[in-house]
Amino acid sequence: MASHRKFHGTTLKAREVAGFALKEIRHPAGVFIPKHSHKNAHVGFILDGGFTETFTRKTLECRPLSVSYIAPGLPHTDDFRHGVHCLVFEISSARLAQIRDLAGLEEPVFVHGGRAAWLTLKMYSEALRSDAAAALTIEGLALEILAELGHVKAEPAEKKLPRWLNQARELLHARLGENMTHEEVADGVGVHPVYLATLFRRHFRCTIGEYVRRLRIEFAAGEIANSGRSLCEIGLAAGFSDQSHFSKVFKHHTGMTPGNFRANLPGRHRPPYLRRIQDISSTSCSRGRGEAPKQ
């Protein structure tokens, strides 16, 4: 029988807001936690590192920008083989009772990147603030995250992408640093640009441009968390035309600049060319002559 456990690891920061208990936690590498469960439902978001979470019928490979929902009392094991830095927010039983029927969250839900990740990054940013408005914002973001995860869970399991649409998505991933047009993507998969745009939005609930922008931020966040490359190099590799544009878009999606994001990752080695908190909007780096238009 699985026992109820408090969260393992070192709690770096903690905050309670309207039935949601936020904790920023760092787990050391090499720890395995046998089968257990948690009294309260919770959402976990990986900022750095990764771990494996195993349930009776499902195994989740959690990595940076992964978001997962675990229902209360659900037995699972955790393998922190490589260590992890994460944000967790627990949901009180009273708060869960208010939203459970609307969200329909019972089984584990897992997504990587996308809207749920950006909402959780914004929550992380707001958790660092101390003003009264931050508490209201955190509560709203928590509800949005649960609604988004509930929507993911509600999508039909048998829903399959047309082969050409999956190829279009793979093409965008493979060439995320390039500024492709709708015509180029459509030609690459053999469909009309209008048909591509219509079906893409229907299946992914966003335009191609929005998808590429989020994909670039996801790539950049992963590089910031897991590499020693300069923010300038990362921005250019992700397809942004200059650092100011990179900083503006990154902050819009995550609530913090790339420099702030890197500075708030505990234990990260900062290369000597980085200031303690580097706001790249004030530095210069661009593609130079003939740069592609901004996405």
DSSP 53-101: EE-SS-EEEE-TTEEEEE-TT--EEEEESS-EEEEEEEE-HHHHHHHHH
- Residue indicated by tokens 């929507």: 151
Is 258 in contact with 220 (CB distance < 8 Å)?
A: yes
What's the pLDDT score for residue 273? 34
> With the C-alpha atoms ordered 38, 105, 215, 246, is the resulting torsion angle positive or negative?
negative
Assign 66 to helix, strand or coil. strand
What's the pLDDT score for residue 282? 37
Assign 284 to helix, strand or coil. coil
Is 94 in contact with 35 (CB distance < 8 Å)?
A: no
What's the pLDDT score for residue 293? 39
**Which pair of tokens denotes residue 265?**
């990752």
Residues 6+ apart with CB under 8 A from 270: 262, 276
What's the pLDDT score for residue 157? 45
Under CATH, what is the fold of the domain 163-282? Answer: Arc Repressor Mutant, subunit A (1.10.10)
Distance CA 105, CA 108 (A): 8
Q: What is the pLDDT along the chain (295 residues), one digit of tens a residue?
A: 445 456 778 888 888 888 899 998 888 888 888 888 888 889 998 888 888 888 888 888 888 888 888 888 888 888 888 888 888 999 988 888 877 665 567 777 888 877 788 888 888 888 877 777 888 888 888 888 888 887 765 554 445 778 899 899 889 988 888 888 888 999 999 989 888 888 888 888 778 888 888 888 888 888 887 777 888 888 888 888 888 888 888 888 777 888 888 877 655 544 333 333 333 333 445 454 334 434 4
Assign 43 to helix, strand or coil. strand
**CB-CB neighbours of 207 under 10 Å:** 13
What's the pLDDT score for residue 294? 43
- DSSP letter, residue 268: P
What's the pLDDT score for residue 267? 53
**Which pair of tokens denotes residue 211?**
């998808």
Distance CA 30, CA 213 (A): 35
Distance CA 117, CA 114 (A): 6
Residue 99's H or E segment, with its range, is: helix 93-103
What's the pLDDT score for residue 153? 59
Q: What is the amino acid identity at position 167?
A: Q
Strands 3-4 and 31-37, sheet pairing: parallel
Domain spanning 3-154: CATH superfamily: Jelly Rolls (2.60.120.10)
Q: At what angle do helices 208-226 and 193-204 cross, to 10 degrees?
A: 60
pTM of the model: 0.63
Domain boundaries, the chain: 3-154, 163-282
